[in-house]
Copies of this chain bind each other. A is one copy, B any other.
Amino acid sequence: MEIIEKVSQMQRTSEALRASGYLIAFVPTMGFLHEGHIELMRTGKKHADKLVVSIFVNPTQFGPNEDFNQYPRDTEGDLDKSLSAGADIVLFPPVEEMYPEGFQTEVLVKELPDHLCGLSRPGHFDGVTTVVAKLFNIVKPHIAVFGRKDYQQLAVIRRMVKDLNMDLEIIDVGTVREADGLAMSSRNKYLNSEERKSALCLKKSMEMAEKMFKQGQRDARIIKKEMESLIRSHPFTDIDYISLCDPETLEEIHTSGTEVLVALAVRVGKTRLIDNCTLGQHDNSD
């Protein structure tokens, strides 16, 4: 496994791989890898000849009051896990390699970020689309793999790729969960044992929504109200949003049709957790 820090070296390497006819799969990460990332890597490896994983905690997608500085890091562990998962190259660029002095360009998706997490994290998705556009130009993949856990991120990136005619395929992978149902996230590390228990309310509330939907409930307000009560009954929780929305436009819906995305963000203690599922589609929630 090769470790590359320089943009120009990654580009030369990718050009050479493409010229030799290799298919390149790419998994961009912020490191502190868990089983969810590994699943992305396995999927990438399955679809391509060469797997490139990037580890870059991108400062521009964190708000001024967010956890950029505390964001957990474990470079050695990450490299071990990448190797085990079959990565051929790990791209590990320093911040100044990605954002040199004078940097002033942004890639913006304009409407999709005005929903869900975008509302409480202004500028977050602009940081995501900009860094992902850069990484795509650096890695030149045929395929890029993203998790459905970050559903809005996936939707925003798909939109960017389509709108800017980026010639690559986005593959999505279902959320990987702990045995008790908590969606894997690098931020789970922040939870103390009491909060860890409460954190199950996200998955439980989605299961309740699925059950109500299966029993014929189509009024989004009623489903949301029940989810809200369930979550509030767990200590240390503070709801950021619960949304029943259109899976493509992310616009809030009031009467559920056939395709409904349930997405939610809940603070448990100081840790902001997100999760989502698609109602009526069993295989989509995990």
- Residues on A lying within 8 angstroms of B by beta carbon are 7, 11, 15, 18-19, 21, 102-112, 129-130, 133-134, 137-138, 140, 159-160, 163-167
Contacts and interface: CB of A to CB of B under 8 A. Distances in A.
Given A104-B110, A105-B129, A138-B167, 17 more contacts: A15-B167, A18-B19, A103-B163, A104-B159, A104-B163, A105-B108, A105-B159, A105-B160, A105-B163, A107-B108, A107-B133, A108-B108, A130-B164, A134-B164, A134-B165, A137-B165, A137-B167
The majority secondary structure among interface residues of chain A is mixed
Contacts of A159: 102, 104-105
Given A19-B21, A21-B19, A167 B104 contact: no
Contacts of A134: 163-165
A11 to B, nearest CB: 5
Contacts of A133: 107, 164
A18 B140 CA distance: 13
A140 B167 CA distance: 9
Contacts of A105: 107-110, 129, 159-160, 163-164
Nearest to A249: B102
B108 A137 contact: no
A166 B112 CA distance: 25
B104 A107 contact: no
A165 B110 contact: no
A103 B86 CA distance: 36
A129 B106 CA distance: 10
Nearest to A133: B164
Contacts of A137: 164-167
A276 B66 CA distance: 45
Q: Report which residue of A15, A105, A106, A140 has the largest number of chain B beta carbons within 10 angstroms of its beta carbon.
A: A105
A137 B160 CA distance: 12
Contacts of A138: 165, 167
A142 to B, nearest CB: 10
